[in-house]
Amino acid sequence: MISLRAVPLSGDKLTDWIFKQFIIFLRRETLRIKRKKRVVFSKTDRKALRGLMDPEVGPSQHHIEITLSSAKNMHCNRNEELETLIHELCHIIFWKTSERFIFQMECILIKKFTSEQKIFLKSFIPRHEVKK
């Protein structure tokens, strides 16, 4: 069991529950986060994305990989990378919802999370960039 005693809380029960769910997924060995210069949905798709959540990677197909774009035109700073991480984590928690709902949830959570919670989430974003 993952201990959640040391995580910062906001005081709002729903916000804290979602934050704890994020932390549970972030601490699992089956979730990987990487930064890449250009993120696209598939090899044939040319449109660049801010982030991508791929739920079926690895040999056993039970891993989740979140890829964040490290391009400066997508994310000017780490705060924008955090917004994308929150968006992709919402896709994991609320996996059967529309993109519109996910975007609305992302906007709400960015306003509701405290600065301590945001710093805590930023610690999971790698500083290095992968080539492939």
Helices and strands of the chain, counted as H and E runs: 4, 5
Q: Do you know the residue count of the chain?
A: 132
118 vs 19, 23, 39, 78, 124, CA distance in Å?
10, 12, 23, 10, 10
| CA–CA separation, 23 and 13 (whole Å) | 15
pLDDT in tens, 8-67: 898 899 999 999 999 998 988 888 899 888 888 776 677 888 888 888 765 666 788 898
Residue range 81-126, pLDDT digits in tens: 999 999 999 998 998 889 999 999 999 999 999 999 999 999 999 9
- pTM (two decimals): 0.86
